[in-house]
Amino acid sequence: MKTINILLYLILILIGKGVVAEEADDKLRIICFGAHPDDAEYKSGGSAALWAQLGHHVKLVSVTNGDIGHWQMAGGPLAKRRAKESALVAERLGVESEVLDIHDGELLPTLENRKKIVRLIREWNADIVIAHRPWDYHPDHRYTGVLVQDAAFMVTVPFFCPDVPHLKKNPVFLYSSDRFQRPYPFRADIAVSIDDVFEQKVDALMALESQTFEGGALGNAEFVESVPPSSQPELRRAWLREKWDRRASGEANRFRDALISWYGQEAGENVRYAEAFEICEYGRQPNHREILQLFPFLPQPE
């Protein structure tokens, strides 16, 4: 039996090499995990657009289908609606997307789900993996973080999920930003100016109507009435842009020191909108030079 397993693994390696060879290029491959079909878009959408503009490959993955994430509808119809919204956001950002068929609010850090995450990272041949930190108000957010952490070593182990060739080089695993304080506050190891793609991000997020304009699970009829109607798209966009102006500028102000460290004093002080990431200690630990290679839109040394 052991001999058969080894032979099967070698065959799969050869097949996998053939697949990768067809898609091989010198571009980065980034996969961003969010718990719901808006989380990765909200937290990493600007950086995703910056990578995509340079020809790099980005995939946004929702680990649940978001089927209870609305105050007025649920189940299959909502899951399908949110998958379409997420796909449209990805299209506008120039990236790919996938929504896993796991019920919203029911994600658990099981072995089955760990294997799903490992396979996704391997199939994408990721250089960078982004996810929530494993402490958060929402259990789906927490367990997405746990599952991705648990994958950080297993993606390199040959006989774990041997149906997908293991990665020879461990990716860099990153956390997206949050405001939770325990067991320790988020640390901005990398801060990215999204000034050049802020309008593109707003345009992309216009597609998340069930969440942005209807309030998601916490919305209500009064909230919907407070939002400009779809018959007035310019006012509707201005309303959403104002919200994201506050949110993204708040990130820039919060992580101003990190922005200055990466962009220099003058440029860092003038960044208006930002996204930030923390390096997870479980994956590959990049040095300064490697971070610049992984984030090629950061200022590069001459």
Residues 224-243 have pLDDT tens digits of: 999 999 999 999 999 999 99
Q: With respect to residue 7, please indicate whether it lies within any of the assigned structural domains.
A: no
Domain range enclosing 109: 28-294
Interstrand relation of 172-176 and 57-62 (parallel, antiparallel or unpaired): unpaired
Sign (positive or negative) of CA dihedral 146, 148, 153, 154: positive
Q: Which residues on adjacent β-strands are paired with residue 190?
A: 277
Cα(84)–Cα(87) distance, rounded to whole angstroms? 5
> Over pLDDT 90: what percentage of the chain?
91
Quick one: pLDDT band at residue 22, thresholds 50, 70, 90? very low
pLDDT attached to residue 21: 36
CATH number at 250 reads 3.40.50.10320
Q: With respect to residue 203, please indicate whether it lies within any of the assigned structural domains.
A: yes
Q: With respect to residue 168, please indicate whether it lies within any of the assigned structural domains.
A: yes
For the chain, give the secondary structure using H, E and C. CHHHHHHHHHHHHHHHHHHHHHHCCCCCEEEEEECCCCHHHHHHHHHHHHHHHCCCEEEEEECCCCCCCCCCCCHHHHHHHHHHHHHHHHHHHCCEEEECCCCCCCCCCCHHHHHHHHHHHHHHCCCEEEECCCCCCCHHHHHHHHHHHHHHHHCCCCCCCCCCCCCCCCCEEEEECCCCCCCCCCCCCEEEECHHHHHHHHHHHCCCHHHHCCCHHHCCHHHHHHCCCCCCHHHHHHHHHHHHHHHHHHHHHHCHHHHHHHHCHHHHHHCCCEEEEEECCCCCCCCHHHHHHHCCCCCCCC
Cα-to-chain-centroid distance, residue 100: 14
Is 30 within 8 Å of 51 (Cβ atoms)?
yes
| Structure token digits, residue 293 | 């290679």
pLDDT attached to residue 167: 98
Q: With respect to residue 20, please indicate whether it lies within any of the assigned structural domains.
A: no
Domains held by the chain: number: 1
Quick one: pLDDT band at residue 8, thresholds 50, 70, 90? very low
pLDDT at 2 over 50: no
pLDDT at 10 over 80: no
Cα(270)–Cα(267) distance, rounded to whole angstroms? 5
Average pLDDT over the chain reads 93
Cα(125)–Cα(20) distance, rounded to whole angstroms? 8
Q: With respect to residue 302, please indicate whether it lies within any of the assigned structural domains.
A: no
Q: With respect to residue 61, please indicate whether it lies within any of the assigned structural domains.
A: yes
pLDDT at 29 over 50: yes
pLDDT at 17 over 50: no
Q: With respect to residue 18, please indicate whether it lies within any of the assigned structural domains.
A: no
Q: What is the mean pLDDT of residues 281-298?
A: 97
pLDDT at 15 over 80: no
Residues 99-154 have pLDDT tens digits of: 999 999 999 999 999 999 999 999 999 999 999 999 999 999 999 999 999 999 99
Q: With respect to residue 3, please indicate whether it lies within any of the assigned structural domains.
A: no
Quick one: pLDDT band at residue 23, thresholds 50, 70, 90? low
- When computed from its CA atoms, the radius of gyration of the chain, rounded to whole angstroms, is 20
More confident residue, 6 or 186: 186
pLDDT at 25 over 90: no
pLDDT attached to residue 302: 81
Cα(179)–Cα(169) distance, rounded to whole angstroms? 31
Cα(293)–Cα(161) distance, rounded to whole angstroms? 30
pLDDT at 3 over 70: no
Cα(238)–Cα(242) distance, rounded to whole angstroms? 6
